[in-house]
Each structure stands twice: as structure tokens, then as C-alpha cells.
Structure 1
């Protein structure tokens, strides 16, 4: 749940409406005091906090939240239309905020930040649950060890040996968790925070001082574009690196996954007036978040490389097969599902097909099509992590068809 704190009703209403459009559960508080009472009673994943409020201002509320063990890890995003000077922004970060957005703000940018911090908080929460479960398991095993020693002293050596193995395993897991947490912090804070400040201050300079200087404004736009491209690259690299972590397979409804991906791409679909046709897909054993990222990247790629003279049309179809093969004949029931994502875009020369799945590989200039060169590399890595295959067929000017073969059931429950 997301808590919105602002003393103005119209601001609370507009932010709440915006977030609810994207299926976020929200709560509101009209003062700092009310916010603190709610935070002690409820659990929140993100707090959007107005700076200038009567009574306790946003900085005081943030310091209070950061000072409590229960709430100090909740991401706080400051919003301010008045305190936009550098010293106020710096004070926001010093008081415990993870971001500082000045009004008026871009809705899409705010949603992107909310989504990012929301997911980071949920991941941190899940990691803590795993650590608590592991700690509980160790305690249970220690008690069992004592009981076994009391019942049969002959098993003492084996129990001690097993305990040493479990202790070492616990240390290894803790080291892995620490490395993962350190990397996530590095990517999301140490790299992104300075970049966010750069973008924020550049935009302030652009809006405040360059309105009457067209040439300077044009050059500043190039700086902003490059900074945004760098931020996208950092986020893409973080997504790519996360694919190496251990995950659990569950039964995933691919139809629901594609609906979620289409919801995330609602704006570009509307802008390009794209037509999306999706046939009924089966359930597979998979990692749900990665399946969503796979289809989102493929759909985004098809929209990006659509023709300007033709309405974009993307078709997603599937058929069961009995072999892990891109060309195996379809059957009524099989152990694998073969999925086709077809588009009517600009296509590509078949001689470049082997290159498109290589990280940082781009077939077009940055000025022609935006992107990081990581999207299809992520798709390929997800497919391989699910023990599947991926291929593409295309001709220039005739669109492209990406084909994915996935097992319906995985041989083990983790990867």
C-alpha cells in the first residue's frame, strides 16, 4: 500500500486517482501527525510526502520515520512546488528521502519511480522473510540436535558434522545475500541518485534560465536526453544482473502475464494506435516476474520498430509441441509450448539475426530508435533460464516473428 501525505485535498485526490488507475492500493493523510499515526498501525511500501505542511513539515516527518526500526526502510519520495532550491533538495535526502520531485511533475516519471521503489521494498521484504525462515530453521535444527544427543549419544558426531555443514551453508547464503544487497544498493542508489540530481538540476536550469535562448535550450535538451539514456541503461543492467539470482518456479498463467505487460505499455500502444491480437495461452511452470519482463520487452521492441506509414499490428499465438525445437510439428497435447510474437514492423536483414540477442548490440543509431541494446539480451537469458529456445525470422520491410519454445513443466523447482 502507498501512503500519500499532503495538507491539500486536491493534491491528495489527484495523486490517489493517478495511482489507483494503475492498480496501486493507496492511503492518505492530511498532516504529518496523521501520517505518523497511520504508519505505526499500517504497513506501507512507499510514502509520497509533501514538504511544506502546517505543524510538522515533510522533513520532520521523514526524520521521524527514519528513526523507527519498523519504518526506517520505507522509501520516501518528496514532492514540493515551493522548496525547489538545491539546499532544500539536499535536506530532503539528508532527512531520509530516496527521491525529491519538484512540482509540476511528469505523471509517467512519478509512476516509474513509484513502481521502482515499490518493487525494491517488496524484494527487500521477501529477502527478510527468507532470512527469518532460515534463522528459524537453524534454531529448530539446533533444538533437534540437542534432543538427538539426549536420546542417542552415538549419533553425536554425525549431528555435529551436519550442523557444521548447515552453518557453512548459512554463511554462504548470507554472503550471497549481502553481495546481492550491496549490488542492488550500488545500482539503485550510488549510481542512480547522482544521475537523478543531475537530471533534476538540468531541467531546473533549462526551465528557469534558458527559455529565451533557443540555441542553449537545444544543447541542454541533448544533455537531458543523454542523462535519461544513461538512467535507462543502469536500470536495464540491473534487470539483466538479477536474472542470475536463484528463483522459484510456480504455475504461471501466460494470459495474465501478457495482460500485465500490455497494461505497462498502455501509453505507447495508444500513441501508435497499435492493434494487439492475443490467442489463449496455457499455464506453464515459470518465474512469473521474468515472464512478464520477457513479453514486455518483446512487445516494446515490436512497437519501437513499427512502420510510420502502417498501423502497427502484433499477434501472439501458440501451439503445443513434443520437442524442444523451433521447427517441430505441432500436436494436440505436448510437453512444450511454442509461442510466436509476430509484428508488421520494419523487420531486419537476416544476416544480423545472430547479433540482436547480444548485450549492447544495436542495429540502428541512437537517433533513429531509442533503447539500451539490452532488451533482447534479457529476453534470451530469461528463455535460457527456463530451459527453452528462442529464434527469429525476418526480412527487411516485412516485420519479424520471434519464436519461443518453453517446457510446460520444469525438472526442478528452482533455477
Structure 2
């Protein structure tokens, strides 16, 4: 027979206790002793039922009656010590027999951390169980922190992988442009590039330098955000002017990608904001459109609702997939 008495917990790791006794009245008495503890109490009336629960849950501590039919407490403890998932669970034996050193020794040999004799002292039982609940809470917190750290490491590795690719792209483009320009210069044959061609090459290289600069700024911002050191410098300015200037700087790339732009702005639009951060956001959004939604129109809107400003960039790209 299985019985579960759940206790609701808020903002704390959920710990669990296993009570095993073949007599239902003993389980009820134990449960009443431990009911006010912040934990979930699971009950089993046989060793087999206990094993079933042990395979499904991680327990902070198990209180086992020694004298049970089929599988007694000692045998259950030995089975627990033989399984990787349960061998670390603290075991407290409960027995109604007289204190017997041989009996006690066998219990500790089977893996017990403590031995309590009936009739049980409620204060002692609760005190001992509380110790193991605190230990389990600490273990769960450590596990949670490790999982968060592992997730952070994975995110950083993924970001670095993407960043290294993004950094290489403008560098490769610049390298090809300079190689092409160098091959076009053959003074021994009297072949020199025209002024127009040189200007075009330098303009293209300058745009790639701009891309690199923005990528490096993004990397630095991410580092500052993670360190809690990202500064925001607000100044009263016209938001429309800043956004238009950011878009105008990207007109050559927009034309190359065949992305016509329509603007729908409220003007003027006085507000207090960090000009560099706004420009960075606009540049990143427009750059994404150029990269992922070429050959299609883009609509840029800026409007207010009450004391809030809303800025949107609408395109026909694939969007961000839902996970």
C-alpha cells in the first residue's frame, strides 16, 4: 500500500521523507509527528512498496521499521545501498525491541546513520529529521546552481561560436577587397586603379570596419551586462532625428540588399534617452533585416501612447522560431 502526504512549498527546494512500516497505525503516528515540517511525506507499508517509491523519488531521509514481513528493514537498507540512485540516502532504523548491541551493529553495518527505539521521543525524531532535511535542501541548491552555471557556460560557448563567425565575416570581406584591389594595381604594365574604383574599395572596407566596431561594441556590452556595469546616459533629444540618422547610415547596405524603407514617425518626438544605445538597437534591427530579409520592403514606425514610446521594424523575414 502506498500513501503520499504532500506539503506545499514556496521558493524552496522540495524535500521528501520516506516512512516504511508494515503497521498502518505506526505510519500515521510518525506522519503526525512530522506533519508540520516543510517537506513531502511518502509512506510505504512494505519493503516492495518502498523500493517502488525509491525508484521514483529522491528522499532526504528514510525511516525504516526493522521488523517487517517479506523484506525487513535491514534487508531493505542493504538493497538501497546496492543501488546507485539510493545508496546515499540517510537511513534511520526504528525498532520496538530492547537495546541489543548486535542488533544495533547490524543496522549500522546495513547502512544506517541512526537507530531509534520505540516508544519514540517526538522531539528527538523531529530534530534528527530536520538535520537531514537541511542537508538535502543544501544539496538541491548546489545542484540547481551547478545546472545554472552549466547553462551559462553553454550559452557563452554558443555566443562565442556565433561571435567568432560574425567577426570573421567582415574581416574576410575586407581581405578579399584589398586582395582584389592589389591585383588590379600593376604599375610595371602601367595599370593603375581609377580614383572612382579606389573610393569604392575604401568605402566598402570602411563599412566592414563599421560592422566590426558594432560587433565589438556588442561583445563589450554583453560583458558589461553580465558584470552589472552597463551604464545608461540619458539626455533630452529628438528621438526621430536619432533613428533617422541611424537608418541613413545604412542606406548603402539597404540599397545593395534591395530593401525599400517606409517611415511612419511622429515628429518631433522629444524624449530622454541614451543616444548610443538607441542607435545600437536601431542598427542591429536594420542589419538583421538586410541579412535575413533582403529583396523585400521594410516598414519602420515610431509612435507614442501616453508616456511610452513604441518603435517597430516590420519586414518579411522568417522571424525567430519558437522553442
Please state which band the TM-score falls in when normalised by the shorter chain: 0.3 to 0.5
Larger radius of gyration: 2
**TM-score normalised by structure 2 residue count:** 0.44
